[in-house]
Amino acid sequence: MAGLPPHRQATMFTLARDGDLVPESPVDVLSRGPAAVPMIIGHNAAEADLWRTPGVFPPAWAGAAPDARVAAELALLGADEAVVRAYRQRFDGADAFVELVSDGLFCAPSLRAQRGQGRNCHAYLFTWPSPLLTRTAFHALDVGFALDNLDDPAFARHAGPRPPRELAAAVHGAWVRFCATGSPGWAPFTGEGDIAILGPPGHRDLDLLTAWGRRV
């Protein structure tokens, strides 16, 4: 895995749609209408930055921009030429690549599922930036807060020695309330105004996400 670009690392762990047990993509199913149970659906503000951290992001890709050489691989995320062009116009160099992977793997599918579920789901955007590594809200940083597991030494390697306990109490409390009552304490999803921002103020770039077409 160490020699693979980040989008290929991630796609190694997608579900195998065998036509029987898993007949189609869960995102496709969720986008068509409410599931049988209420849901929390969300993502972190800078998901793919995890792959840019030292020792994880392949050095050969550190300065790479999405270009023709990687177009076929980015197509695994549904990133056609229009998507690649939109990100290259908005971001420079590796930023364009990382932002595209982040949206393709996490943000765009989450938004599509949220819209399909509507009031059956509660949406969140985790924005607290770690003081370590890329100093952003990268992939899996929300897990320690959701589980209120800030003292785990492994989590400290990502979140630092003093992550905000008040944020952990709020996030963990919301997850517990959701398990007990079906609501984490904020409004069901009808639009961007209903998204709980877990951390400093933040938002999604809906204009850029329209480049993903049917994936959103």
Q: How confident is the model at residue 8 (pLDDT cuts 50, 70, 90)?
A: low
Distances (CA, A) of 161 to 98, 136, 169, 170: 27, 16, 17, 19
Q: Per-residue pLDDT tens for 62-89? A: 555 555 556 666 777 788 888 888 988 9
Domains, the chain, with CATH or none: 39-215 (3.40.50.1820)
C-alpha dihedral sign at 185, 190, 193, 196: positive
Q: What is the DSSP string of 37-70?
A: S-EEEEEETTGGGGGGSTTTS-GGGTT----GGG
pLDDT attached to residue 63: 54
pLDDT attached to residue 16: 80
* pTM value > 0.85: yes
* Mean pLDDT of the 199-212 span: 93
**Owner of token pair 């949220």:** 114
Q: How confident is the model at residue 171 (pLDDT cuts 50, 70, 90)?
A: very high
Q: Per-residue pLDDT tens for 12-53? A: 677 788 889 989 889 999 999 999 999 999 999 999 888 776
Run of H or E including 124: strand 121-126
Alpha-carbon gap, residue 123 to 171, rounded angstroms: 13
**For residue 136, which amino acid is it?**
T
Alpha helix ranges (H) inside 59-138:
71-74, 81-90, 93-102, 108-117
**Owner of token pair 């690649």:** 84
121-126: strand order across its sheet = 39-44, 121-126, 196-198
